[in-house]
Structure 1
Amino acid sequence: MRVVFAGTPQIAVPALQAIIAAGHDVVAVLTQPDAPGKRGKGLVPSPVNLAARELELNVLTPASASDPSTVATITALNADVAAVVAYGQILRPALLGATSHGWVNLHFSVLPTWRGAAPVQRAIMAGDDVTGASTFVIEQGLDTGPVIGTLTERVRHDDTAGVLLERLADLGAGLLVHSLEALVGGYAAPMAQPEDGVSYAHKLSREDAYVNWELPAHIIDRQVRGVTPAPGAWTTLPDGTVAKVGPVRLRTGPGLPPGQVAARADEVVVGTGTHPVALTWIAPAGRKAMDARDWWRGARLGDAAVLGEA
């Protein structure tokens, strides 16, 4: 089977590796152009680009995959099918017609729930008990194409978006391989998505990651896990500066006013709209993440200090 693969972040790498391991011929890899690295390190190739180079594959990094020259290049490869995992570009009709059996996307939700850019993050933030992955044939529309296969996975109480995405990427890689083989082999039966149960996972903004300590503790827990590692939950410190915070732990016991921070039983707790939560780590602006207890000892704020007021 001749396959074009399109993907960019690390969560797409397991699927690329699985297609190769299954013995299929990846004739080209589409990935986003090199992007600026952190702290002025220049342009950095995507994780998929790096993985494809290690596998000695043909890598294409067009600014627009639907540019006529790129479409012509893909068409000339005579690929049976294309696989897409978090590529990051909208695919236009001309490109979708450049392979014999179309383009199959691996999406990290059980469609039609959580269509869009941040399905795992939104599932955690909404308190879903179960999520999963789906493969579907791409058509014009936001994750609306007919579904080939699905799998489900329990959302664990301590899952961050990063951890759950890694797990689904590994599980979904096999699903994608089987879906490609079924489609090209002629025994897949893609089914139209139902009209009921549609929800949208809009891209996360910085505002989505701001912690409002007046919310109930369980809502804050879901929010922080859902935006970890990116864009990263944040709050303001008593001096008005910004700090990122890691996942919290739900606690019982005497309440604190929302946002008030204090040391209790060898941990640092913050008041919420209901029960307190314990901080795990905190990263004040310009500094690396540190254990919350170490930060508290060095900050010397006192038990009247409040987060999130400035």
Structure 2
Amino acid sequence: MRLVFAGTPEPAVPSLRRLAASHHDVAAVITRRDAPLGRKRVLTPSPVAAAADELGLGVIKADRLDAEASERIAALRPDLGVIVAYGGLVREPLLSTPAHGWINLHFSLLPRWRGAAPVQHALIAGDDRTGVSVFHLVPELDAGDLLAVRAHHVPSAATAGELLALLADDGAQLLADVVDAIAAGTATAAPQRGEATYAGKLGDDDGRVRWDEAQPAVLGRIRGVTPEPGAHTTIEGSRLKILAVGLPPADAPGLDPGVIVQHGRAVLAGTATDPIALETVQPAGRGAMRAADWWRGLRVTTLRAGS
């Protein structure tokens, strides 16, 4: 089939590479425009744009699939549209332009966690099971009939970035299988079943650690917002980024919420239940460092983090 592929961030790249290596024709890649990155705000192509250029594929850069972009896509006469984390909506008449419509790879077990940040919300909520879903795109958000689903156990210590990378690789194969099935006329679809939950885009406040929550909830939030938007707390009025955490040693003392102490080689922070171990932190204006090194430089015996 003749495909158009829409995607922007790194998790969409494995799907693009898998389809580009297939016997299907990727007629064009749609991605968002170059964005300023880093301290110097250098205009940088999206990961999907960079991969498409490497693969020798034509690229349409558009932040919105407006009339101009839709006309360019329609002129390609695609058989199928494929979208993976593009970052924009596909509306009519573009939704009906490909002969087989559009399909979407989503990083959750739909209808749980429809929306922009399913992996992050799954970790924050403490889900022990997630997966990938391929579905027909419809006007309602992530609500189309399911073409394929594959479940995964959530690794106990995984961050959102690590879990998303795992799902992106596995989802690429599932997506390619669905494209093959549509081409062969053997694809089947079924309505989504169960209660829908929603995973809105995360903001800076979502990364603020709530020390008065139980240990599993604190760990889930920190891992769910890593690497973006990032976990943080305040120490004596200054922001401390929390980059990596773990479970405390078996003999860890009980601590009040937000109280930070050193216990042996571990730097511990109290929650509403058991403490957590701080492993890597980044104080304001400094680089990332081991929590033990940060603590040694403070020359204190105890601190209290803000909520």
Same fold (TM over 0.5): yes
TM-score tier, shorter chain, comes to over 0.9
User: In the alignment, which residue of structure 2 is the partner of 1:112?
Assistant: 111
- The whole-number CA distance in structure 1 between the counterparts of 2:166 and 2:64 is 30
**Alignment partner of 1:138 is 2:137:** yes
Say which SS state the counterpart of residue 39 (structure 1) adopts.
coil
Report the Cα distance in structure 1 between the residues aligned to 2:145 and 2:243, rounded to whole angstroms: 38
Note the alpha carbon deviations across 1:156-212, whole angstroms, 9 max, x for none: 111100000000000000111111121232211111112x32111121121111012
Matches within 5 A, 1:130-279: 130-194=129-193, 196-238=194-236, 240-251=237-248, 252=250, 253-279=252-278
Partners of 1:27 and 1:77 within 8 A in 2: yes
Q: What TM-score do the two structures reach when normalised by structure 1?
A: 0.95
Tell me how large the CA RMSD over aligned residues is: 1.2
Instruction: State how far apart, in whole Å, the 2-side matches of 1:69 and 1:227 are.
Output: 36
Structure 1 segments, 4+ long, off by >6 Å, are none
Structure 1: gaps of 5 or more residues: none
For residue 174 of structure 1, give the secondary structure of its aligned residue in structure 2.
helix
Q: Is the 2:103–2:134 contact (alpha carbons within 8 Å) kept by the matching residues of 1?
A: yes
Distance 1:218 1:57 in 2: 45
Equivalent pair of 1:260/1:303 in contact (CA under 8 Å)? no
- Shift of residue 41, structure 1, vs aligned partner: 3.5
| Structure 1 position 247, deviation (Å) | 3.1
Aligned residues: 305
Q: What's the offset of the Cα at 1:303?
A: 2.1
Provide the residue aligned with 1:49 in structure 2: 49
Aligned twin of 1:75: 74
Equivalent in the alignment of 1:94: 93
Aligned equivalents of 1:286, 1:141: Cα separation in 2? 43
Following TM superposition, by how much is the alpha carbon of 1:77 offset from its aligned partner in structure 2, in angstroms? Answer: 0.8
| Aligned residue type for 1:106 | L
Task: Return the alpha-carbon distance in structure 2 between the equivalents of residues 287 and 229 of structure 1.
Answer: 17
Could you say what secondary structure the match of 2:287 adopts? coil
8 Å CA contact retained: 2:244, 2:281: no
Query: Which residue matches 1:13?
Result: 13
> 2:4·2:78 contact (CA, 8 Å) conserved in 1?
yes
Q: 2:93 aligns to what SS in structure 1?
A: helix
